[in-house]
Structure 1
Amino acid sequence: MNSLTDRTSVTRRRTPLNRSQIAGFWGAWAGWTLDGMDSFIYALVLTPALTELLPRSGYAATPANVGLAGSILFALFLVGWGLSFIWGPLADRFGRTKVLAGTIFTFAIFTGLAATSHNVWELGIYRFIAGVGIGGEWALAGTYVAESWPEDRRKMGAGYLQTGYYAGFFLAAALNYTVGVHYGWRVMFLTGAVPVVVAILVLLRVKETDKWQKAEAGAARARPLREIMGPAYRRRTWVACILLTIAIIGLWAGAVYEPSAVIQLATKAGMAKNDAIRTASLATGLLSIATILGCLALPPMAERIGRKKTLAVYFAGMAIAIVGSFGWAFYLPNGLAPFIAWLFVLGFFGGNFALFSLWLPEQFETRVRATAFAFCTSFGRFVGAGVNFLLGAAVLHMHTLGVPVALTALAFVVGLFVIPFAPETKGEVLPQ
């Protein structure tokens, strides 16, 4: 009876959210959702887009050329993500909400312009600039929610926020299943221009965080990049960079190559082209639902066993799932169903990204928080771009998709040895 009373008391003591905090969260969540939708649209329309554009660019649309060009464009996109570091210092200088709206506006406009591409060069330019916008959204949305939500709710807020990106995956899959199959890849890119509306709403409806306003009013002008590289923060900055790099390699190896793998397996099973595309969309939907569940399960686990142990569980799960799906199920004679089953496991542990939305803001003070978040995520994207290019070359050289992707599981094994060097912030409040 006392236990029940205690739990009820804890529930009642949770700080209620005010209207500004609710509006701010949904603005950040919607931006992150449409960000996820935007970034995954390309993975879903990769083959039809390049099949049309390569001949217009002077290249035959062979499977090898489509695979190589796709990997190069992925790498360009990730380089754009890496350059999104510029948004962090801007947000520390001018505030979270204005710069958050700017990131959403950038990726929306240039995703829509991708629909007008006449050749692969134009598509590459549009995807590169869209990547700059997309890359900044996570850092600013995560920083905003961490600073605006009350201390007793911000941990779950990080988990809730991260579901948005994978809800975007699900939305992209649903659009591809309905719109893409019937109207083609150009219309799919046009749907990516919708977030412009969200950017306008963020500017008009979302209030700047009190923490940033107090830090801005009470401190001399900070040099955030110099600070996060200084003695106080240097170690945690580089450890976070390495851990985020590993997570990004897993995202782009597993999730982004998943539609192509499913289409290959479905075609091998005798499905027609449109049926194979629909199957890939359904598999992506399953992957997205599993990842959302992983994001929601993560904050309570991090509060119970700590940030470092939680990340170790998720990294080990990713390593096993990548090997099980791409290294084993992909090569079975009838591998479509086992591969899709493994995707659920891969998706769940892909929720490891929610930990960074929770953990990174806890490691840095307000005056440098957005810069640190943006720098750590951008570093990983630059390395991820290189890994993605190597993956494309490996696929071309080995004439198979499964083994090169399966080898990325080794990155998560390395991550298990890096995690002990990170700071444990369980039970600590967000530093001012």
Structure 2
Amino acid sequence: MSSLTDRTSVARRRTPLNRSQIAGFWGAWAGWTLDGMDSFIYALVLTPALTELLPRSGYAATPANVGLAGSILFALFLVGWGLSFIWGPLADRFGRTKVLAGTIFTFAIFTGLAATSHNVWELAIYRFIAGVGIGGEWALAGTYVAESWPEDRRKMGAGYLQTGYYAGFFLAAALNYTIGVHFGWRAMFLTGAVPVVVAILVLLRVKESEKWQKAEASTVQVKPLREILGPTYRRRTWVACILLTIAIVGLWAGAVYEPSAVIQLATKAGMAKNDAIRTASLATGLLSIATILGCLALPPMAERIGRKKTLAIYFTGMAVAIVGSFGWAFYLPNGLAPFIAWLFVLGFFGGNFALFSLWLPEQFETRVRATAFAFCTSFGRFVGAGVNFLLGAAVLHMHTLGVPVALTALAFIVGLFVIPFAPETKGEVLPQ
């Protein structure tokens, strides 16, 4: 009986985190939170910003022009996200903390500069460069936490880290209800410059990961992009790209069209415009809370049943939730309440992104890890952007929102057939 108690005590004991590991995590988490905040700020202030800047650029601020310019600026932002793979090789060459701070500096400074825009062209340039910074933050934050946290804690650290992005949605909404309402869209962009403080904290308070230092000292310089596409890593690189692309398609389909769907259903239920918008905000909050819960539930599940089975469960949940919400509840006579209930399920399984923060670092050695993480996420963003525009065209063509978005569930079905080709890393330590 005594030996059983001793074993239970050891199993529950976790390696304590030192000050640098704690500061590093909060720096990475804050950067990822402010990354989510920055992304959502743009969605919140797009219409008022373009309404002011289009006439200064020689165009009338008609709803059609605002919509067209908004789509073009969003496309440029996504291209910037895709080009963020440049940060990976830099991090493998110069270290995680310096380059992580660089990504935060980039998106913070150029988000702040967006507040000074005199015309739509300047805003487009600032958003494009901010996108390059934002896109690199996840890869660098995920790599740093995986390498710097103790082996018995890094899996849960991946789940904790991923919650930051969705916490950023809440932060952006809160800022919009306070600062945005009273001081306008330029003040909102200025708040996006605050992460500079986090970047300085990362540089001054956080030590480089020991794994990277050892790899840097013991290996000759490699060309990491060539290596992850070479014979050793080619299969797992492309499988990870496909799985991340599927996850991103599902995220954007749900996140981009969810507010519009709720507003349509609320209006159909007889709500006034302002009440419908408030309902959409509450629904978005519910979606975010559910996603945070999904992120926290995922690491223990992945440790118990394995990475591949966990992703299969989350992908199946996404497919069912997308069909249930956009394919079924959206078309019910009184579909608002069922749709919002399905959003909770959709949000929970949207936490599948936490698995990639946990799983991708386990599939690659230290010398190429950041490059692999950045490349796989950037590839998914490029393809996801194309799918998102096809979805927009389908919505316009079919004159309905539900069916086109519901069809994205097919991507997750494809993902179930791709998962078996990925490596199972349950029980393995992070490779050096």
State TM-score, norm by structure 1. Answer: 0.93
Q: Give the distance between the partners of 1:338 and 1:72, measured in 2 at CA.
A: 34
User: Residues 280-359 of structure 1 correspond to what in structure 2 (within 5 A)?
Assistant: 280-359=280-359
Contact in 2 for aligned 1:315/1:413 (Cα 8 Å) = yes
Report the Cα offset of residue 111 of structure 1: 1.7
Which deviates more, 317-326 or 284-293? 317-326
Report the Cα offset of residue 52 of structure 1: 4.6
Q: Give the distance between the partners of 2:51 and 2:340, measured in 1 at CA.
A: 26
Report the Cα offset of residue 129 of structure 1: 1.2
Contact in 2 for aligned 1:174/1:281 (Cα 8 Å) = no
Report the Cα offset of residue 288 of structure 1: 1.1
Deviations 1:131-154 (A, max 9, x none): 100110000000000000011111
Relative to structure 1, is the Cα distance of residues 52 and 398 closer, same or farther in structure 2, using a 3 angstrom cutoff? farther
Deviations 1:210-232 (A, max 9, x none): 11111111111111111111111
Deviations 1:20-70 (A, max 9, x none): 111111110110111111112223334444455455555565655555544
Q: Give the distance between the partners of 1:46 and 1:345, measured in 2 at CA.
A: 29
Relative to structure 1, is the Cα distance of residues 356 and 203 closer, same or farther in structure 2, using a 3 angstrom cutoff? same
Match of 1:235 in 2: 235
Relative to structure 1, is the Cα distance of residues 179 and 135 closer, same or farther in structure 2, using a 3 angstrom cutoff? same
Which runs of no fewer than 5 residues in structure 2 stay unpaired?
Answer: none
Report the Cα offset of residue 185 of structure 1: 3.2
Contact in 2 for aligned 1:72/1:389 (Cα 8 Å) = no
Deviations 1:294-329 (A, max 9, x none): 000000000111100100111111111122222233
Relative to structure 1, is the Cα distance of residues 208 and 401 closer, same or farther in structure 2, using a 3 angstrom cutoff? same
Contact in 2 for aligned 1:74/1:385 (Cα 8 Å) = no
Relative to structure 1, is the Cα distance of residues 379 and 99 closer, same or farther in structure 2, using a 3 angstrom cutoff? same
Q: Give the distance between the partners of 1:240 and 1:328, measured in 2 at CA.
A: 31
Q: Give the distance between the partners of 1:361 and 1:177, measured in 2 at CA.
A: 38
Report the Cα offset of residue 410 of structure 1: 1.4
Deviations 1:187-228 (A, max 9, x none): 332222211111111111111011111111111111111111
Relative to structure 1, is the Cα distance of residues 388 and 347 closer, same or farther in structure 2, using a 3 angstrom cutoff? same
Report the Cα offset of residue 285 of structure 1: 1.5
Report the Cα offset of residue 279 of structure 1: 2.6
Relative to structure 1, is the Cα distance of residues 41 and 236 closer, same or farther in structure 2, using a 3 angstrom cutoff? same
Relative to structure 1, is the Cα distance of residues 58 and 412 closer, same or farther in structure 2, using a 3 angstrom cutoff? farther
Contact in 2 for aligned 1:139/1:377 (Cα 8 Å) = yes
Q: Give the distance between the partners of 1:352 and 1:137, measured in 2 at CA.
A: 18
SS at match of 2:431: coil
State TM-score, norm by structure 2. Answer: 0.93
Relative to structure 1, is the Cα distance of residues 191 and 265 closer, same or farther in structure 2, using a 3 angstrom cutoff? farther
Report the Cα offset of residue 108 of structure 1: 1.1
Report the Cα offset of residue 330 of structure 1: 2.7
Report the Cα offset of residue 119 of structure 1: 4.2
Report the Cα offset of residue 385 of structure 1: 1.5
Deviations 1:268-308 (A, max 9, x none): 44444444333332222211111110000000000111100
Q: Give the distance between the partners of 1:29 and 1:249, measured in 2 at CA.
A: 24
Relative to structure 1, is the Cα distance of residues 158 and 427 closer, same or farther in structure 2, using a 3 angstrom cutoff? same
Which deviates more, 70-79 or 282-291? 70-79
Which runs of no fewer than 5 residues in structure 1 stay unpaired?
Answer: none
Deviations 1:137-187 (A, max 9, x none): 000000000000011111111111111111112222333344434444333
Q: Give the distance between the partners of 2:355 and 2:264, measured in 1 at CA.
A: 33
SS at match of 1:58: coil
Q: Give the share of equivalent positions with the same residue, in percent.
A: 95
Relative to structure 1, is the Cα distance of residues 284 and 254 closer, same or farther in structure 2, using a 3 angstrom cutoff? same
Q: Give the distance between the partners of 2:20 and 2:114, measured in 1 at CA.
A: 34
**Superposition CA RMSD, Å:** 2.2
Relative to structure 1, is the Cα distance of residues 238 and 276 closer, same or farther in structure 2, using a 3 angstrom cutoff? same
Q: Say how many residue pairs are matched.
A: 432
Match of 2:383 in 1: 383
Which deviates more, 92-101 or 265-274? 265-274
SS at match of 2:314: helix
Which deviates more, 342-351 or 323-332? 323-332
Report the Cα offset of residue 262 of structure 1: 2.7
Q: Give the distance between the partners of 2:121 and 2:246, measured in 1 at CA.
A: 29
